[in-house]
Amino acid sequence: METNQAQTLIAMIFVLGTLVLLVLPSVIGIVRDRRVDRQIREAQEARESERAQKSSSRSTVPSTATWYAEGRRSKKLVSS
């Protein structure tokens, strides 16, 4: 290998190393963002499945407050 070829090889390695150092933080950030997005998505799915289980176990009987409000509405209609 001649001196000129060795210098060219060293320059190419230097340029590639510099490129890697410049791109590496962006790649690390992208990987971290994807991990956080996946964790958020999993938490939302867990919360939605928890809501679905709770809603199916609820009774369909109206609450006392609903009966009270309906009674007051009917009284207003009758008295007017």
Each residue's pLDDT tens digit, 8-53: 999 999 999 999 999 999 999 999 999 999 999 999 999 988 887 7
Q: Enumerate the H helices of the chain as residue ranges.
A: 3-57, 64-79
What is the Cα–Cα distance from 60 to 24, expressed in whole angstroms? 57
- List phi, psi (to 5°) of 17: -65, -40
Residue 60 has pLDDT above 80, yes or no: no
Q: Provide the residue type at 46 as one letter.
A: A
Counting Cβ atoms within 10 Å, is residue 64 exposed (0-12), middle (13-18) or buried (19+)? Answer: exposed
